[in-house]
């Protein structure tokens, strides 16, 4: 059976007419609530660490498995996007929304994204489903009786969707999931970000600047491990991923990485009820590359509004806000629609 399909629109203001303006305004200027977190550091099996930011109902704390007050309630693990964190506006907005409604929210940071450099030469990548599995196992161990949900934004959405498709019924510990603005076809998305003035000079430059700085810092700690010249000269994600991400994470080259890490081929294997939400004007992934109903299982709801941009979906006529996305996630988590 094919996936369900929803084309209902996100009511963005008329004065933000296309994907770039919606994305940039939403990420930089839109009104959003702010959440506070309690941080927990967790050691990984390979000698590194990840940081978990918790927002729980009541006094801020890290959940204890023995705490029955939290143990039976709903919980959400939220995976951020490329170079994102718990400080990203979409993460703040979503965390505040769900915590205010009695949910436990945790934002696991991909390695190197919590404000502290990770210990190993490796970092994180778009298809790291094993890392998603470790993070989910870790947070579920804190609250084993909670009704766990998961959502991923952009890179985090792709990694989560790939995890769900690969694991199939083995991912049944989740009540429901959502992948938002996920670049499900990494090859199409990567090449798109390398083309056009705004894509190259705004988004790509921002990503490459922070990624390059992190890797060049690693190069000082791990001399001789990286292609320092390739990283230093990288002008787009194709060149950066070819010089660093692919070789450090077990891929032959950037083409191999983008192909094998894409979630699109795994959507048919998803058995957990999953919302896959992509605006059709997302400047990171053109509409022609978005999945259709026959590309996903019947556990998936594909929602593709005409507007929303990338990851933020600003709404409101005068002063746009970021409330639409958390409300959309809540609706799906509560009734599957």
Which residues are catalytically annotated?
Answer: 154, 282, 310
Query: Looking at beta carbons, which pairs linking 21-25 to residues 24 or more positions away fall under 8 Å?
Result: 21/309, 22/279, 22/281, 22/307, 22/308, 22/309, 22/312, 22/313, 22/314, 23/282, 23/283, 23/309, 23/310, 23/311, 23/312, 24/202, 24/309, 25/314, 25/320
In contact, 152 and 274? CB cutoff 8 Å: no
Strand, helix or coil at 92?
A: helix
DSSP summary character for residue 272: S
Strand, helix or coil at 128?
A: coil
- Two tokens, residue 13: 């203001």
Could you tell me the CA-to-CA distances from 246 to 231, 249, 253, 284, 287 in Å, in that order?
12, 5, 5, 20, 26
DSSP string for residues in 29-73: T-B------EEEEEE-TTS-EEEEEEE-SSS-----TT-HHHHTS
CA separation for the pair 27, 185 (Å, rounded): 23
Taking phi first (over 0 means left), then psi (-120 to 50 degrees means alpha), and beta for anything else, what does residue 271 get?
A: alpha
In contact, 77 and 135? CB cutoff 8 Å: yes
Which helix (H) or strand (E) segment holds residue 232: the answer is helix 228-233
| Residues paired with 178 in a beta bridge | 151, 275
In contact, 268 and 165? CB cutoff 8 Å: yes
- Two tokens, residue 184: 């499900």
Among candidate residues 259, 6, 78, 272, the one with its CA nearest the CA of residue 165: 272
- Two tokens, residue 193: 């970000």
């Amino acid at each position: 059976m094919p996936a369900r399909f929803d084309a209902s629109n996100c009511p963005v203001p008329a004065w933000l007419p296309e994907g770039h303006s919606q994305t940039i305004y939403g990420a930089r200027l839109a009104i959003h609530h702010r959440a506070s977190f309690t941080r927990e550091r967790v050691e990984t099996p390979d000698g590194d660490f990840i940081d978990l930011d918790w927002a729980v109902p009541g006094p801020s704390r890290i959940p204890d498995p023995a705490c029955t007050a939290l143990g039976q309630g709903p919980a959400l693990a939220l995976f951020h996007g490329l170079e994102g964190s718990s400080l990203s506006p979409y993460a703040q907005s979503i965390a505040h929304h769900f915590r205010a409604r009695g949910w436990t929210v945790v934002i696991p940071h991909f390695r190197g994204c919590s404000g502290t450099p990770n210990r190993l030469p490796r970092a994180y990548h778009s298809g790291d489903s094993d890392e998603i599995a470790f993070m989910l196992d870790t947070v579920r161990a804190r609250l084993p009786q909670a009704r766990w949900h998961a959502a991923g934004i952009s890179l985090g959405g792709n990694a989560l969707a790939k995890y769900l498709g690969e694991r199939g019924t083995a991912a049944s510990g989740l009540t429901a999931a959502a992948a938002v603005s996920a670049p499900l076809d990494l090859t199409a998305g990567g090449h798109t970000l390398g083309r056009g003035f705004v894509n190259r000079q705004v988004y790509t430059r921002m990503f490459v600047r922070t990624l390059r700085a992190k890797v060049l810092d690693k190069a000082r700690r791990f001399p001789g491990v990286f292609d320092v010249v390739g990283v230093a000269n990288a002008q787009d994600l194709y060149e950066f991923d070819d010089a660093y991400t692919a070789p450090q994470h077990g891929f032959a080259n950037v083409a191999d990485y983008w192909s094998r890490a894409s979630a699109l081929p795994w959507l048919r294997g998803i058995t957990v009820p999953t919302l896959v939400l992509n605006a059709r004007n997302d400047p990171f992934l053109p509409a022609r590359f978005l999945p259709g109903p026959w590309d996903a299982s019947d556990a998936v709801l594909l929602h593709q509004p005409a507007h929303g941009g990338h990851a933020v979906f600003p709404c409101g006529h005068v002063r746009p806000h970021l409330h639409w996305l958390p409300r959309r996630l809540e609706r799906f988590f509560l009734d599957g629609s």
